[in-house]
Amino acid sequence: MIHQRLYIPSSAIIFIAVLISTGSCAFSKKRSLDLLKDARDKKYDIVIVPGVPFTNGKWSFVMKGRVCWSKYLYDKGITDNVMYSGAAVYSPYVEAEIMAMYAAGIGIPEEKIYTETLAEHSTENIYYSYRKAMKLGFRRIALATDPFQARMLKRFTRKYVSPEVGIIPFVVDTLQAVQIHITDPEIDYRKAFRENFTALPDRESMRERFRGTKGLNIDWHIYE
């Protein structure tokens, strides 16, 4: 049995603060549908999917949602490739590698799956993945995630990444219809395990994690 300390990512704490102060929590269903329609019209070379901590030997509700949404976008021809992003941050498993295994397990061809394994915050997920995707030759790039994170990252993405990056938050009804037909695959999660792991809260103060969540710790020259 896997025993791990439970950490609440600083991004979640910041998001709750924003929710309280602004009364805004996510893209609405209508807005998500509009963005999906735009994505169908534009189509992308690759979509970026931010990571989720892997605990207790199985994917969480949020991780499953993000991976299944990327599968939907691939199946519908909205994207040709998928990049999962995330280091081993709150658990000793590299988030991007875990999500890539699940993606392959539910039917995305392995040659269409890419990983970015350095990001430790959501702002780093989009910035680092964009830089890596551009270096690999992809030009039409979008962010695909849940409506909450998509809303939270929109301004940062437009200002610091590129105004050309598409935003594709999942549509809950559509995602639920997709998940009905998906059986949880078995993966060898030990391949994504990192020895001598130290969780982010044990090596960074709350202040440092807040800075990271806001994008203030980003390596702006990464993947040059």
DSSP 72-111: HHHHTTSEEEEEEE--S-SSSB-HHHHHHHHHHHTT--GG
Q: What is the pTM assigned to this prediction?
A: 0.88
Segments of the chain scoring below 70 in pLDDT:
1-24
What is the model's pLDDT at position 24?
A: 57
For residue 53, give the DSSP letter: -
Q: What is the pLDDT of residues 102-146, one digit of tens each?
A: 999 999 999 999 999 999 999 999 999 999 999 999 999 999 999
Q: Which two tokens stand for residue 131?
A: 């830089």
What is the model's pLDDT at position 176?
A: 92
What is the model's pLDDT at position 6?
A: 43
CATH number for the domain formed by residue range(s) 32-212: 3.40.50.620
What is the model's pLDDT at position 216?
A: 93
What is the model's pLDDT at position 26?
A: 81
For the chain, helix (H) and strand (E) counts, in that order, are 9, 5
What is the model's pLDDT at position 133?
A: 99
